[in-house]
Structure 1
Amino acid sequence: MFSPQKVDKVDRERLVFAVQPGQPLPWEPDHALAQWELRPNQAWRHVVYLGIYRLDEVFEVLSRVFEPDQDSYDERPAGDTAVAAFMVGQDGRALLDSEVLSSCAWATGQVVRDQGCGQEWLAELQDATLGFSQLLRDVVTDEVSIGDVDAPPQYIPRLLDRTALADCLAAAITAAGTDKALSVEEIRISSQIVAKRNAENPAGHEFLNSFIMSDLGMVAEETAKGNAGAVLREYLRPEAQLPVDRRVDVRKQVEVVLDETAPGKVAAGRWPSQPEHALALNQQLAVSTALEMTGTSGIVGVNGPPGTGKTTMLRDLVAGLVVERARRLADLPEPGKAFTSERLSWRTQQRKRVLSIWRPELTGFEMVVASANNGAVQNVTDEIPAADAIDEVWREVAAGVDYFPEIATALLAPDKDSGQADDPGIEGWALVAARLGKKANRSRFVNTFWYHTPEKPEEDGTWHGLLAVLKGYEQTTLDRSWSDAVADFRAVEFRVEAARAKRAEVYETIQRRVDVERELVVRRSSVRAAIERGAKARRNREAAVILERERAHEAAQVAREHQAAAEQAAHERVAVAESFFQQRRAELDRLGPGGEASAERALRSRESELDGRWRARDAHQATRPGLWEQISTFGAARRKWSLKDHWLAMEVKNASHAVNTAQRGWDAAQQEILVAQRAVDAALVELESARRAVSAGIPLREVHYEPLVQARRLVALAEQEITMAGQVQAETERALLASERELAILDDRLNEASSALGDHYPDSTWWGDRRRRELTALWTDAEWNTERTELFFAALALHKAFLWHAATAMRRNLQAAMDVLSGEVPRDAPDQAVLAAWQSLFFVVPVVSTTFASYARLFGHLGKEALGWLLIDEAGQAKPQDAVGALWRTQRAVVVGDPLQLEPITALPFRAEQAIRLEFGVEERWSTSTTSVQRLADRLTALGTSIPDDEGETWVGVPLTVHRRCDQPMFDIVNAVAYDGLMINGTAGAAGQRFTEAYPTLPESKWIDVLSNEARGHWIPDEGRQLDRILDTLSALKFDMSEVMVIGPFRDIARQVGSKARRHHGLVAGTVHTSQGKQADIVILVLGSAPDRPGARNWASSKPNLLNVAVSRAKRRLYVIGDRRAWSECRHFDILAANLPSSMPIQD
């Protein structure tokens, strides 16, 4: 919203006019434009800019609202813009629906009115825009009723004069609400020559508002639908989800760098630079890492400190991708197979376009260089096709390929309206890149690339645009077949791949050698372990034998003790047996015959008594009463007899029991005597046995002694271990010998490879010497570089051959592409048809460039992941939101920049930005004051390193480390101030020596110490006088002033030194912020800073970025002018002072 498009300054040569009293308007007959003679198919169209104001005014207004920071000297956006704009046709009448209200002007008015920001802004802006359209229509049209009174009125544009334009300005101010915010009075008109068929079409107008804003809205809607695309989704990844555990520090994990730059990962194609000049190691790493994304999607951050060859790296990436597409072309049996059978079309009022649709395998190679910095994208796409971009050894080859160098040269020529008509321009070598972006660039490209026809065809050296070229191809009988063209390409490819195979074999040999060395370490350790194992086993055996002896001695002692105990036990046994025998005999004697006789007598007595009882009873039985006696006595006799009989029966019974008892007593006595006798007999036997044992003696017997058993087991185990250790030792020594022999063979091979590859071989110093390692890439020696470069030329030749063989299809598709660039494609054109048109253009011109501001206008018809590659340059200067639309439309992104150079410039003061961010709930990560596209890409890149920043360290993507721009001491200053020694000095000393020899009187780099209390803002007049003396000295030496740059940290200085540039033709002058991307032999850094304003110096030194950019612009000499004591007390500038000798002011 606060990033409007700029309006060109008044310049009659560029057809930009200010509306002034008494001066005719460009469409009026008295104006100079009326004398121009246009072609029949041309017409005038005018853009009226209402209410011109400076962009930095917005910054100042917002600063006043959001608590101004007196010590903030952030670079303000430069240039003019306007409150509103609309288009006027050749007849001086407004083109309806062409009007646009500036979101920046409107939002600034809202901030001043409300003293803050609101979440309803977008809706309110739409209302304000509709209101402006109504107000403008009331001014520029007449309302006419036609026919039925109920019919809607018609609005007929009226002829506009200065009064009407003043009313238009008033309407714009009213709608935008800027009357209290900005002072806007000027009206400016930009006149353009356009095709007559498009003269009434307002669609081609470059709007005031940022295209990024509307594109962001569209992408936000698509993302909300789940249609974000892989690259954009990765770009928006929250901090908490970053895979930081996958990061590899390439300065520490060198083995990973070796793997990632292996021959198999080196691009088949190479840029035509000098064969001996290979990429630096990390340049190669960046190219290989990027090319790994081919066929998939991803985003890679590349950290490019100043002078480290960002464009060089990108050129090799371009060559690699062109060759890869050529490989796929070569797979086609015939050129027509490049397209599917499908045809798509669109129709306008004038014509119909029918397009052939490319096969998917031939797409995805489209390369777009984009940046927030117009100079950056121009530099890249001007350098790539320029003849100076290829080495002289390849000029003849390039001429033989003849890839449309005339068109390339014409596209590199200065614009006719640039004021550089005398500049011969840059010679092109091939049509491999082109500037697009803004409408002027697109129109120029279309006219030059496609439609150009020589004004004098009869002259030698004339050339035609590609339209005529393709028509000529269609009418020409081809001398060579497609298979012949493919065979030529395949022949070169075979040589490249054969060379790759050789180097891959060396790489694999290195890998095998690493494995063998690891095996040797293991096997030597195994041999030592086996030897130690055998020694230990022998020691264990010796110890076990000693222990066995000890335990045998102990066992013998135990046996003797057992013998003595047995003898003692035998004697004790005799004694016990003797005693027992005597006891048993005494017991037998006690029981002797008397006891047995007594028991017998008792038995006989009881038997006699029993016999008497039986006789008494028998006698009584005889006296049993008879029947008569029983009757006569009435049974008394019977009862008396029965009673006595019962008693006698009892007596018998008792006597019988007594006999039984006596019998048992006698039996027991006999048994007891028998037992006693037996005991005596047994005791006698035991006594005799004991006496015999004593008499015979106790023998010494071997005992079971467990410790002796264990000791003997240990001896056996030790013997077994000695045998096993010997076997293992023999086996490991055989394996060790085999590995040593293999290592010797590998070393012989690698020594040969090292001799052949030289610095491109990773010898022992490569691993330990960082400078040696990073100065040059591996494997890419002059021989292979030559073949890879030849393959790039062969790829271009195959592309050109394809144009010959598919001229008709390509002409139709490219004609459609020209319609796209000219804004002549209907809104409802099929997306795939528009994409096919673009793919056809990228087939011919592999690389195009645009700023982010123009990206949406350029590729607005394309959807998610439509294009193959997005190459973002100077990404450290790009705001996070700048790249969203471009990332959404790409499949792969390579983001190149440096967070330690200049940061994004915004129209918003820091406090204003923070207020808006908090109002809308945006995370700090997306604040333009704290991050950039580069930082967001770096955090996603696995291969990188850490560099210091204000928060300690920050992770950056693949670091380009070899600096090849600055002599000393500039290199050391920059390396210390910003990079903590990351960079390696690769600057050739020869250039510096030639410079010194050419200008022997020029002093070395130094700090001219100027003490002064006089200040005009931050401009110190005394410093200006020192600057004049230096510039006058250089002029006297006839020094090329285009190789002199005068810069300062503050705008006050830039305004003053700007006048010096007018006096010294070619001198580059401005703020440090305007110098990034530029370089010069001599840089004069004018520090300025009011003596009583230390906050200004603190701001300039708060980060290393500003000083890093300033110093790294200087190739040969750096002259600093300023108060050395005051500045050397500031952060980073103390390093500057320590590396530059102090000098007194130059006297007249």
Structure 2
Amino acid sequence: MFSPQKVEEVNREQLVFAVRPGQPLPWEPGHELASRSLKPGKAWRHVVYLGIYRLDEAFEILSRVFGPDPESYDERPAGESAIAAFIVGEDGRALLGSEVLSSCAWAAGQVLREKPAADWVAKFENASSNFGAAWREVVAGDLFARHDEGLPPQPRVLGSDDLAECLATAVAVTGAGHELSCAEIRISSQIVDRQTAKDAGGHDFLNSLIMSDLGLVAEQVAQGNAGPALREYLRPDTDIRISERIDVRERFADVLATTAPDNVAAGRWPNQPEHALTLNQQVAVSTALTMAGPGIMGVNGPPGTGKTTMLRDLIAGIVVERAQRLARISQPKRAFTHQKLRWKTGQFNRVVSVWQPELTGFEIVVASSNNGAVQNVTDEIPAANAIGRCWKEEAAALDYFSDIASALLAPQPERQRSPSPVVAAAGWAAVAARLGNKSNRNRFVKTFWYHTPDRRDDADSWFGMLSTLKRYEQSSPARSWKEAVEDFRTADARVETLRAARSAVYERVQRRAQLIQELKILSSAVSNAAEHIKVAYQRRDLALSVERERQDEANRIARARQAEDEEATRRRRDDAERLASARTAELERLRKGRWAGAQRAVRSAEAEVSRRRQLRATHQETRPGLWKRLGMFSPSVKRWARHDSWLEGEIHAAQHELTTAMAELDSAQRELDAVERDVDATRRELHEATQILNAGVPVPHIVHKPLLAAQRDRDQAELDLIAAVRHHAEAEAALHTEQQRLADLDEELARATVVLGKHCPDTDWWQDRQRRETAALWTDPEWNTARSELFLAALTLHKSFLHHAATEMRRNLHAAMDIISGSAPHDIPEEAALAAWQSFFFVVPVVSTTFASYARLFAHLGREALGWLLIDEAGQATPQNAVGALWRTKRVVAVGDPLQLEPVTTLPFRAEQAIRKECGADEQWSPSRTSVQRIADRLTVLGTWLPSDDGETWVGVPLTVHRRCDQPMFDIVNSIAYDGLMIHSTGHTAGEKFTATYPTLPESKWIDVVSENARNHWVPDEGRQLDRILRVLHDLDFDMSEVMVIAPFRDVARQLSGRTKRYPGLVAGTIHTAQGKQADIVVVVLGSDPARPGARRWAASKPNLLNVAVSRAKRRLYVIGDRNAWSSQRHFETLAARLPHTTPIDR
């Protein structure tokens, strides 16, 4: 809403006029245009701009409402816009439906009444409707009266008063009349084709051209209809897996795999065969072409690293892939389904044949926010100098509509802005179309489609595509479709044969890499095995030592026990000796004592028993006779009996005494026997102890558990040592075997290196960054030649298809021309529009457009309708600019550099933040803080890290080989912005030739101008030094188109622009206008008001501005400015250190 388009300044040469009181309007008879004659078929059309206001006025309103941004210096937008506009025909009548109200002017008035809100878009649409209604009342005149009278309705011829009334109407609707100085009316007159002169629709001269498309896409996304590329683009930072990123400056094996021969595109741009892509250019192309499905990737393209070269090879790869599919169809008409779609353009019926799906998805759109960038790409691709010298003849023989290509490259004669003549570039093939804005589209359609020579003998006797296809319909192709396909397949087979050979080498390289890893493992295994042997020896020796220690311990214990045993035996002997003596004495005592007494007692008892028995026997002899006994009661018998009984008792008593004595003797005998046994045992013990002592006490055998454990450890250590020695021998044998395999493989690769040269990854490739990154792998001249031939064969096959399917293609392309020119109805079926576009891309593979024109160009197309979107200078595009293009595309490659120019926004930062917060948008989508490039880079797996104010920034695949600037320019930018990322590969030839041609030109330097005299940022003393340089160059007859004079501030740039009139061809402007350009000599006029040091801080806050300025210079860089004041700023201290400096020269 706050991104208005600029209105051109008043300039009679450019046919832009201010409306003055009393002066005729451009459509009135008295105006100077009335006397100009136009070519047949041409007509005037006039854009009326109502209420011219300065853009910085709107900026000031926003700064006042939201507060100034203290970090902003010289950021106020330059230029003017208008609060409303409409178109007037050559008859002076307004074209109804052409009116446009400025959203910026309306919002500037609105913001003074209320804070920004999400419903502002709807409110603006209502305001636009109200303006349209009021405006129509002013311009309609007798429109309805004529209708009532049966006359064709027609607005009235407008005069100055009518324009003033239109202005008043616009001021009233916007409500910004008191804040914006919008009194001026300006008219831009244009020469257009008469048939489109009355076209009123599709014009918006004032507002952001992406606003309505963003609304459309937002609705689709809300309904879940986003598509993979856009969904990926919108992914939050928190959902990105940083761990999956692959740094191409560190992980060479991944780079090698990415650029494997199987991943190299079959097609190649027809550059010189020896001019291969650099390694990372090939990484970018291979990564893009091998994307698994729809998606987005970023390519980081520092200055001079070959972005366009990389894109050309990507385009060639895409075209060849389509040709490969085209070659599979048996008949050209089978490229289409049986479905035919129709619409009507005016009185003409359009019939569109629908393509087979497998032949679609190859459409390529190059888009950018920078109009110069897209023009550069699509002007370079078809230009004859875009192909190598060796391909000129083959390209001429192919003749892929080179006349059309040359005509499209010719400058527009009606509005050529350059003060010096522009030499038309010759084209080699119509492979790119610069479309975008209405003027480009109309010119393209006229040239590409409708052109016919005025006369047969006309030097410009070439035919546009319409006439060409009609002729094709009336003639038979020189070669049959089968023959054409066979020609292509032959070229394709040649590429694949060479691919297979390189794949075989690649497999060997991979095997070698595996062998290297295996050898590292084996070498480590040998070292480890040797270490294990050493450790095993140490452990064995330790085990033996421990065993000896434990044996010594056991011996000590045994000897101690021997001593103990000897002492015990000695004690045993002594004890036995003492016991034997004691027992012998006891035996003698017992024998002489108790035993002898017992014997005597027994003998005495025996004698007594015998005596008493004798006494009784004697008494028995006196026993009375029988008769006496019969008289037993006689006293004598009684006495005898009593005495006999007593004698018997005495015998019994004596026998008892004998028994007792015998028992005692028996007891004494037993005791004596026991003592004798003890004496014998004691004597034996004494004898044994004496013998042991006499023989010596033996060392006892002991079980010492620590010794047993030590012995087990020693046994295990010896087994481990044997195993370690065996393993070492096995490892050495395996290492030797693999080393031999590596040697054999190296011999094979050496032979391959002879053929492939620097394109084969030898040992140096892994070690030497310069060697590695300056040339892509596998793409040696032989294969490059075959791949370029295949690309040309693909174009030949496409051209042959046009001849064989001329009718279908003529009809489809005619429908496409309607769409491109804007004459097709808005409601045609999307499928029909898509088929028409697919037919156009079949013939012209690449279309370029700015993002501002993208939505209008592809308005009929929906989600993922197109195959490829190549975003150039993506670092300059706000994230919002690309959304509509992303939604309509399957695969996206964003090419740019976040360290060059960043997106330019017209909003103060605080106003932007307030609007963002009100709309609920995340900080990552702030247009002044990020870009399409940064969004794409964060999603790209292959890339690298670069330093930034926040620490490190991840960038997508980095193009690193710089081939533009001589020293010291290269070192300066490589140091301040890229942390040494780039590799200098400019070569010496061009620089040496330049020096030889202009020997008096000094080397690059800083001219130190110190002055307090300044007008804003313009320092006149610096201007005088610039003029001296320009005079010197002019006197040397130097080509001034190879001189660029730039400045960081617009105050200075305005002064520089004045020099272009004195020096035709000179390029002058701000640094912001210089990106995408280059020159042999660049003069940077720093300027800056001495009283405003904050402006220098702003210019030096990031490396971007200085990076762009310095990297424009190929051979010489001259810096003019206060060295002391600037060298204290970030990044400029490097510039001061690398550039020699001199004082001003006044002459």
Task: Report the TM range for the smaller structure's normalisation.
Answer: 0.7 to 0.9
Work out whether 1:351 is the aligned partner of 2:348. Answer: yes
Name the counterpart of 1:182.
180
Q: 1:566 to 1:852 in 2, by over 3 A?
A: same
Name the counterpart of 1:959.
958
Q: 1:857 to 1:145 in 2, by over 3 A?
A: closer
Superposition deviation, residue 1008 in structure 1: 2.0
AA of the residue aligned to 1:101: L
AA of the residue aligned to 2:101: L
Name the counterpart of 2:610.
none
> Alignment partner of 2:1058: what SS?
helix
Distance in 2 between residues matched to 1:287 and 1:1026, nearest whole Å: 46
Distance in 2 between residues matched to 1:401 and 1:867, nearest whole Å: 27
Task: Give the paired residue count.
Answer: 1065
Q: 1:702 to 1:238 in 2, by over 3 A?
A: same
Name the counterpart of 1:646.
none
Name the counterpart of 2:622.
none
Work out whether 1:317 is the aligned partner of 2:314. Answer: yes
Name the counterpart of 1:1114.
1113
Distance in 2 between residues matched to 1:553 and 1:1022, nearest whole Å: 102
Instruction: Tell which deviates more after alignment, 301-310 or 683-692.
Output: 683-692
Whether contact under 8 Å (1:571, 1:690) holds in the other structure is no
Name the counterpart of 1:1088.
1087
Work out whether 1:398 is the aligned partner of 2:381. Answer: no
Superposition deviation, residue 1013 in structure 1: 2.6
Distance in 2 between residues matched to 1:554 and 1:98, nearest whole Å: 115
Work out whether 1:366 is the aligned partner of 2:359. Answer: no
Work out whether 1:238 is the aligned partner of 2:236. Answer: yes
Whether contact under 8 Å (2:436, 2:857) holds in the other structure is yes
Name the counterpart of 1:473.
472
> Alignment partner of 1:204: what SS?
coil
Superposition deviation, residue 63 in structure 1: 3.6
> Alignment partner of 2:979: what SS?
coil
Distance in 2 between residues matched to 1:1105 and 1:184, nearest whole Å: 36
Distance in 2 between residues matched to 1:380 and 1:577, nearest whole Å: 129
Distance in 2 between residues matched to 1:535 and 1:1053, nearest whole Å: 78
> Alignment partner of 1:1069: what SS?
strand
Superposition deviation, residue 848 in structure 1: 0.7
Name the counterpart of 2:620.
none
> Alignment partner of 2:171: what SS?
helix
Work out whether 1:412 is the aligned partner of 2:409. Answer: yes
Superposition deviation, residue 433 in structure 1: 0.9
Deviations 1:124-181 (A, max 9, x none): 31232122122112212258889999xxxx9963333322222111111111112112
Whether contact under 8 Å (1:76, 1:906) holds in the other structure is no
Name the counterpart of 1:1146.
1145
Whether contact under 8 Å (2:1009, 2:1022) holds in the other structure is yes
RMSD: 3.7
Name the counterpart of 2:386.
389
Q: 1:734 to 1:413 in 2, by over 3 A?
A: same
Superposition deviation, residue 55 in structure 1: 3.1
Name the counterpart of 1:170.
168
Distance in 2 between residues matched to 1:765 and 1:314, nearest whole Å: 29
Q: 1:462 to 1:198 in 2, by over 3 A?
A: closer
Name the counterpart of 1:110.
110
TM alignment of 1:575-614, pairs within 5 A: none
Superposition deviation, residue 375 in structure 1: 0.6
Distance in 2 between residues matched to 1:287 and 1:722, nearest whole Å: 57
Name the counterpart of 2:98.
98
Superposition deviation, residue 513 in structure 1: 1.9
Distance in 1 between residues matched to 2:682 and 2:143, nearest whole Å: 157
Superposition deviation, residue 423 in structure 1: 3.7
AA of the residue aligned to 1:277: H
Q: 1:558 to 1:1037 in 2, by over 3 A?
A: closer
Deviations 1:866-917 (A, max 9, x none): 1111111111211121111111111121111122222212222233323333
Work out whether 1:50 is the aligned partner of 2:50. Answer: yes
Identity across the alignment (%) = 61
> Alignment partner of 1:157: what SS?
coil
Q: 1:214 to 1:743 in 2, by over 3 A?
A: same
Q: 1:844 to 1:508 in 2, by over 3 A?
A: same
Superposition deviation, residue 841 in structure 1: 1.0
Name the counterpart of 2:660.
none
TM alignment of 1:1024-1043, pairs within 5 A: 1024-1043=1023-1042
Q: 1:1017 to 1:528 in 2, by over 3 A?
A: closer
> Alignment partner of 1:96: what SS?
coil
Superposition deviation, residue 49 in structure 1: 2.5
Name the counterpart of 1:463.
462
Whether contact under 8 Å (2:142, 2:156) holds in the other structure is no
Q: 1:721 to 1:350 in 2, by over 3 A?
A: same
Work out whether 1:514 is the aligned partner of 2:513. Answer: yes
Superposition deviation, residue 963 in structure 1: 1.7
Which of 203, 206, 209 is equivalent to 1:205?
A: 203
Q: 1:283 to 1:684 in 2, by over 3 A?
A: farther
Superposition deviation, residue 243 in structure 1: 1.7
Name the counterpart of 1:802.
801
AA of the residue aligned to 1:231: A
Name the counterpart of 1:1020.
1019
AA of the residue aligned to 2:58: V
AA of the residue aligned to 1:288: S
Q: 1:276 to 1:574 in 2, by over 3 A?
A: same
TM alignment of 1:877-896, pairs within 5 A: 877-896=876-895
> Alignment partner of 1:211: what SS?
coil
> Alignment partner of 1:995: what SS?
helix
Name the counterpart of 1:216.
214
Distance in 2 between residues matched to 1:15 and 1:229, nearest whole Å: 45
Name the counterpart of 1:821.
820
AA of the residue aligned to 1:491: T
Q: 1:144 to 1:276 in 2, by over 3 A?
A: closer
Q: 1:674 to 1:875 in 2, by over 3 A?
A: farther
Which of 302, 306, 320 is equivalent to 1:305?
A: 302
Name the counterpart of 1:87.
87
Name the counterpart of 1:141.
140
Superposition deviation, residue 778 in structure 1: 2.2
Instruction: Tell which deviates more after alignment, 1095-1104 or 793-802.
Output: 1095-1104
Whether contact under 8 Å (2:210, 2:855) holds in the other structure is yes
Whether contact under 8 Å (1:414, 1:420) holds in the other structure is no
Superposition deviation, residue 47 in structure 1: 3.4
AA of the residue aligned to 1:183: S
Name the counterpart of 2:863.
864
AA of the residue aligned to 1:302: V
Whether contact under 8 Å (1:971, 1:985) holds in the other structure is yes
Name the counterpart of 2:1099.
1100
Superposition deviation, residue 301 in structure 1: 1.5
Superposition deviation, residue 1050 in structure 1: 1.7
Superposition deviation, residue 680 in structure 1: 11
Distance in 2 between residues matched to 1:832 and 1:465, nearest whole Å: 26
Q: 1:829 to 1:705 in 2, by over 3 A?
A: same
TM alignment of 1:518-537, pairs within 5 A: 518-534=517-533, 536-537=535-536
Instruction: Tell which deviates more after alignment, 164-173 or 560-569.
Output: 560-569
Name the counterpart of 2:763.
764
Q: 1:245 to 1:557 in 2, by over 3 A?
A: closer
Superposition deviation, residue 429 in structure 1: 0.6
Whether contact under 8 Å (1:75, 1:1073) holds in the other structure is no
AA of the residue aligned to 2:902: E
Superposition deviation, residue 191 in structure 1: 4.8
Whether contact under 8 Å (1:1080, 1:1115) holds in the other structure is yes
Superposition deviation, residue 332 in structure 1: 2.3
Name the counterpart of 2:604.
none
Which of 262, 265, 276 is equivalent to 2:263?
A: 265
Distance in 2 between residues matched to 1:185 and 1:405, nearest whole Å: 50
Whether contact under 8 Å (1:71, 1:1096) holds in the other structure is no
Runs of 5+ in structure 2 lacking a partner? 599-662
Superposition deviation, residue 514 in structure 1: 2.3
Distance in 1 between residues matched to 2:717 and 2:1035, nearest whole Å: 97
AA of the residue aligned to 1:272: P
TM-score by length of 1: 0.86
Superposition deviation, residue 545 in structure 1: 5.3
Deviations 1:1075-1109 (A, max 9, x none): 11111111222222222222222222222222222
> Alignment partner of 1:345: what SS?
strand
Work out whether 1:1133 is the aligned partner of 2:1141. Answer: no
Name the counterpart of 1:250.
248
Deviations 1:245-302 (A, max 9, x none): 2222222333332332222222222212222222222222222222222x51222112
